[in-house]
Amino acid sequence: MRDTPDASSDSQQGNRPTSDRRSLQATSRHACLEGAGATVVATTAVQALGSAPADAAASTMTAPASTAIRLTVNGVSHHVEVEDRWTLVELLRDHLDLTGTKIGCDRSECGACTVLMNGQPVYACCQLAVWADGADVQTVEGLAHNGRLTPLQQAFIDHNAPQCGFCTPGQLMMATALLNTVPRPDAVQVQQALVGILCRCSNYNAIVEAVVAAGAQQGGAA
Q: Does residue 131 share a domain with residue 149?
A: no
Q: Residue 5 domain-assigned?
A: no
Q: How many domains does the chain have?
A: 3
- Print the domain residue range for 46: 21-60
Of residues 48 and 77, more confidently modeled: 77
Reported as a single tens digit per residue, the pLDDT across 30-57 is: 555 455 555 544 555 545 555 556 565 5
Q: Does residue 218 share a domain with residue 151?
A: yes
pTM above 0.75, yes or no: no
- Other C-beta atoms closer than 10 Å to the C-beta of 131 total 15
* Confidence (pLDDT) at 61: 75
* Confidence (pLDDT) at 117: 98
* ∠ CA 145-157-165, rounded to 5°: 95
* Confidence (pLDDT) at 218: 78
Q: Is residue 181 predicted with pLDDT exceeding 60?
A: yes
Q: Is residue 94 predicted with pLDDT exceeding 50?
A: yes
